[in-house]
Amino acid sequence: MGCVGDAIGALDCLLALDAQDSVTEVLLCASVPVPDTLRQRFPATRFVERPGALVPELWRDGIDLARGKIVALTISPMVPAPDWAATAAREAELHGVVAGAIDPLNGLPLGDLAECLCRYARDMSPFDARATADIPGDNCAYRRDVLQRTREHWADGFWEPTVNHALARDGLTPRQDPALRVEQGRSAGTAAFVRQRLAHGRAHGRQRGAGFGQARNLVGVLAAPAVPFVLLLRVYRELAARGRVNAKSLAALPWLVAYDVAWAVGEARGHLDALRAS
| 216 and 273 assigned to the same domain | yes
* 105 and 210, same domain (yes or no): no
Question: pLDDT tens digits for 18-43?
Answer: 998 877 799 999 998 999 999 999 99
What is the number of other CB atoms lying within 10 angstroms of the CB of residue 59?
Answer: 27
Q: How many distinct structural domains can be found in the chain?
A: 2
> If DSSP codes are grouped into helix, strand and coil, which group holds residue 33?
coil
Residues 49 and 145 in one domain: yes
Residues with Cβ within 8 Å of 57's Cβ and at least 6 positions away in sequence, in order, are 50, 156, 157, 158
C-alpha distances out from residue 180 to 19, 62, 124, 242, Å: 16, 21, 11, 18
Q: What is the pTM of this model?
A: 0.85
Which pLDDT score, from 0 to 100, does residue 192 have? 87
How much of the chain, in percent, has pLDDT values that exceed 90? Answer: 76
Distances (CA, A) of 168 to 135, 142, 145, 147, 148: 12, 14, 15, 13, 15
Domain that holds residue 204: 190-277
Angle at 259 between CA 254 and CA 265, to 5 degrees: 125
Q: What is the mean pLDDT of residues 77-83?
A: 94
Does residue 111 sit in the same domain as residue 196? no
pLDDT score of 188: 79
CATH code: domain of residue 65: 3.90.550.10
Query: Each residue of 171-190: pLDDT tens digit?
Result: 999 999 999 999 999 887 88
Find out whether 221 and 271 touch, Cβ atoms under 8 Å: yes
Mean pLDDT of the chain: 92
Lowest mean pLDDT among 2-6, 24-28, 140-144, 243-247: 2-6
User: What is the rounded distance in angstroms from the CA atom of residue 166 to the CA atom of residue 163?
Assistant: 5
Q: What whole-number percentage of the chain has pLDDT above 70?
A: 100
- Provide the pLDDT confidence category of residue 211 given band limits of 50, 70 and 90: confident
- Whether 105 and 128 map to the same domain: the answer is yes
Please compute the mean of the pLDDT values over residues 101-128 and round it to a whole number.
94
Q: H/E element holding 56?
A: helix 55-65
pLDDT digits over 217-231, tens only? 999 899 999 999 999
Residues 141 and 207 in one domain: no
Same domain, 157 and 173: yes
Distance of CA 199 to the CA centre of its chain: 14
Q: Are residues 59 and 88 in the same domain?
A: yes
